[in-house]
Amino acid sequence: MQKVDGVILFGYGKFGKNIAKKLKEEDVDILLVESNQEYYKEALQDGFSSAKIIDVTDDAQLEKLPINDKHILVCVMDDDHLNVFLVLSLRALFPNNKVFAISDSIHATSKLKMAGAHKVIDLYLVSANRIQNILNKPIATKFLEGFTDRSNPYSFREITIPQDSFIDGKYLDDIDFRKYGIIYIGIIDVELGNSFIFVTTGLKHKLDSGDIIVCIGNDRDLDRFEELLKQEKEICQVD
């Protein structure tokens, strides 16, 4: 496998800041690139002295960055349109580099893939603090390894929606599973022949009692969520 020199991280906003700090904790060599003056100042204040501020829509400025073929380029700009534009530019300017991108919606994921990103990390499915694992092996492999490890407190669970549950009759898009400490993966809809519908299909689906939702989470949080589903009204939240 080709050796990786480090990460060029484009963006120090809502996603980039946490990812950069995590990579720094893991001693990954990282160069921050920003176009927002305030974010750039924050990066410097947080100890990223090698951060650069450029216009990321200017190919001439992108070409001047100290990028070699062994760098991984990660696009985490706050603006989805800018992120897509940046992926397109980097793929054209640096064809030998891997270009990764962060997404927090199905629509953004689709656009980033069409733009040519080698890997799009959907934050709804994968925690941002696992990005450093991509430097060593595919994230899907690392992700699955974690859940087959018996010492891991996280697990998959199939949860049948009880009758009169507070989510009975609601659309999936209206439910924020993350506030309960769990991640929604997909659903088995009995009305559709018990077929499994993965989260990234983008289907606008209404939940009914008897449907089976598939989630990942800490066993404690999954237990609490399963108990909460027995209520007709949402009376509490996971701490």
Give the CATH number of the domain where residue 169 resides: 3.30.70.1450
Note the pLDDT tens digit of each residue in 5-46: 789 999 998 888 888 888 888 888 899 999 999 999 999 999
Give the residue from 119, 147, 175 where a domain finishes.
147
Query: Do 138 and 172 share a structural domain?
Result: no
Q: Which domain holds residue 186?
A: 154-228
Query: Do 15 and 111 share a structural domain?
Result: yes
Q: Is residue 1 in a domain?
A: no
Q: Which residue has the higher pLDDT, 174 or 201?
A: 174
Whole-number Cα distances in Å, 202 to 41, 121, 154, 159, 217 = 37, 16, 25, 21, 22
pLDDT the model gives residue 234? 65
Distance CA 62, CA 72 (A): 14
pLDDT the model gives residue 203? 60
Q: Is residue 206 in a domain?
A: yes
> Is the distance from CB of 113 to CB of 131 less than 8 angstroms?
no
- In one letter, which amino acid is 122? D
- Indicate the number of domains in the chain: 2
Per-residue pLDDT at 170 exceeds 80: yes
Give the residue from 147, 176, 205 where a domain finishes.
147
Q: Which residue has the higher pLDDT, 167 or 202?
A: 167
pLDDT the model gives residue 135? 45
- What's the mean pLDDT in 72-88? 90
Give the residue from 95, 128, 147 where a domain finishes.
147
Query: Do 124 and 22 share a structural domain?
Result: yes
HSE, CB side, 13 Å, CA atoms: give it for residue 8. 24
Percentage of the chain beyond pLDDT 70 is 74
Query: Do 177 and 105 share a structural domain?
Result: no
